A and B are shown apart, each in its own frame.
Chain A
Amino acid sequence: MADETTLTAAREEAGEAKPAAAPSAAPRGDAPTDDDRATNFFKVAGRRRTPVASRLATVVKRSLALVLLAGLWEVLPRVGAVDAVFVPPLSEILVAWYDMLLAGQLPEHFQASLIRSLSGFGLAIVLAIPLGLAIGWYRPVADFLSPVLELFRNTSAVALLPVFILIFGLGETSKIVFVFYACAWPILLNTVSGVKTVEPLLIKSARSMGLGPVRLFQKVILPAAVPTIFTGIRLAGAYSILVLIFAEMVGAKAGLGYLIQDAQFSFRIPDMYAGIITISALGLLFNLLLLSVERRFSTWRTS
């Protein structure tokens, strides 16, 4: 066989030009192979740019519902369709929000909440991921811990709050433990399933290349599990704020949950809504942040 000719023919096939018929070649149709098609596809995709106009259209389309909601919130109380005492117009709430910001009230509560939720959330990441990896990877660990885990994961975090307060007191510790507990589950369960659902063929392939258990774990199991672990982390991020607000409403002297509860008790309705909006914004921000971190870690995913 003429090596040179077929070699270049192969290169061209993967590139653009059609190969000149190699002397030893079996008949090969003129239609492009799927390799050719794929090549062309990538070229098109690489060159295409989204025009500014169409991007703008997307922004408008996406924010239309939000703008509409804000408009209704402003107009309905003003025309008397809803009671302006209980649902003040949005503008009043924003003014209240701005006042609290300037007075330093909002930053103080915001900071208290953020520290608590980040501590619990961070603790959950640091402890639940290694534990999940161990459970997913070592059968004996899974067999040993499964019954206990099954029991605890079906015990609501909220139901355990009184226990945490009894043990850790009314201070910061009980709240952080509470957030940690709520965050640990999604991270733990997703990590376990991430490790367990690694494509067996990939493990087989790596084993066939002589990888021992340690390197197999490091080079195959861990990277393959990253996307699933991140799903758990994002869920936990949402939980961390969700449950914290509850804890702060039950017993706290600071924090956004306390602010909302306190504002409602003392009938500062705009302040209450301002607190609620701040929480929504915080949750949204948290999720966006985690999403962008996730993207950095798993650029290889199809979606």
Chain B
Amino acid sequence: MSLQTAEQNLLEESVAEAGEPSAKPVKIGIRNVGKVFQIRGSDRPFTAVQDVSLDVREGEFLTLVGPSGCGKSTLLDLIAGLTSPTSGELLIDGTPIDGPGLDRGIVFQQYALFPWRTALANIEFGLEAKAVPKRERRERARHYLDLVGLDGFEHRYPHELSGGMRQRVAIARSLAFDPDVLLMDEPFAALDAQTRESLQEELLRIWEKTNKTIVFITHGIDEAVYLGQRVAVMTSRPGRIKRVLDIAFDSREGDLRADPRFGEYRHHIWTLLRDEVAAAQEQERTIG
């Protein structure tokens, strides 16, 4: 790490000590964003998200929960710049998002690793796009493979790795090109409970180490409360932000899930979601 980033880290730490995290600048600004799709063979437009406004601050860990089909992934695609909004605007560092870029990294639920590349070569992918020289590429890829606890697995192909290991490689790949923002679309949903828990812990550790801004989509309430500093609850389709909750524990030491406040948060979100899930199921019935 360069001197400059070390200084920056120090600076950020002092800011964090001085004030609340909300004092940090807005990293991602979502202003009255809507996305309407034209469905083929139907003249009725499909509204995925509607009038979403949300600010994500620098270095924040925000989780996004909502019933299935509520447009969570659409919202993530919008932030990633993979699609553009039909109304409203999205800003990153105050400038409108205009297409995808290496300042944002995405981690998908299905890993999206390139099967013809080894773990190391997969991690190098984004660095190649960034035109990092080969030597440095290799070095950095190894560093991030270490960071996710996979040293020794450099030359394995994705099909030779377990689900948890593949997701570690995917996370390392997104971290390797050093984006400011990490967008994660239900990254641990396909993993077994144990692997999921250990990856959640590691993600928190990596987040603390790297000061990334993380937007994490999940349908798991526990996961949202465990990981997020704030939890944004979405409504059923068309997706809007129903409520944003601050998650604050006195201490994150020990078994967080056993903390009585964990249960309270969990219940609160569950209540918020219950009506939405029912509405979403009703929608599915009437459409299907």
Contacts and interface: CB of A to CB of B under 8 A. Distances in A.
B112 interface: yes
B195 A210 contact: no
B47 to A, nearest CB: 22
B114 A35 contact: no
B276 to A, nearest CB: 27
A25 B149 CA distance: 16
A208 B100 contact: yes
Interface stretch (B1-9, B15-23, B55-63, B121-129): B121-129
Interface residues on A, range: 35 or more
Interface stretch (B203-211, B267-275, B279-287): B203-211
B164 A34 contact: yes
Contacts of B209: 3
A15 B153 CA distance: 10
Contacts of B168: 14
A1 B208 contact: yes
Give the 4 A-B residue pairs with the shortest CB-CB distance, closest first.
Answer: A10-B149, A38-B162, A205-B112, A14-B149
B116 A6 contact: no
B27 interface: no
B194 A6 contact: no
Nearest to A38: B162
A211 interface: yes
Interface in B67-88: 80-82
Interface string A272-300: 00000000000000000000000000111
Contacts, number: 127
B197 A300 contact: no
22 contacts: A1-B208, A3-B209, A10-B205, A14-B152, A14-B168, A24-B201, A25-B201, A26-B197, A26-B257, A27-B255, A38-B162, A204-B112, A205-B106, A208-B100, A209-B125, A209-B126, A210-B99, A210-B101, A215-B129, A299-B157, A300-B115, A300-B157
A14 B150 contact: yes
A35 B195 contact: yes
B198 to A, nearest CB: 6
Interface string A185-220: 000000000000000011011111111000100011
A151 to B, nearest CB: 28
Contacts of A15: 152
Interface of A: 1, 3, 6-7, 10-11, 13-15, 22-29, 31, 33-35, 37-38, 42, 201-202, 204-211, 215, 219-220, 223-224, 226, 298-302
Given A26-B201, A209-B102, A35 B80 contact: no
B204 A1 contact: yes
Nearest to A199: B112
Contacts of A220: 114
Given A28-B194, A38-B161, A209-B100, A11 B204 contact: no
Contacts of A27: 255
Contact of A201 (B102, B112, B152, B158): B112
Contact of A205 (B108, B165, B191, B205): B108
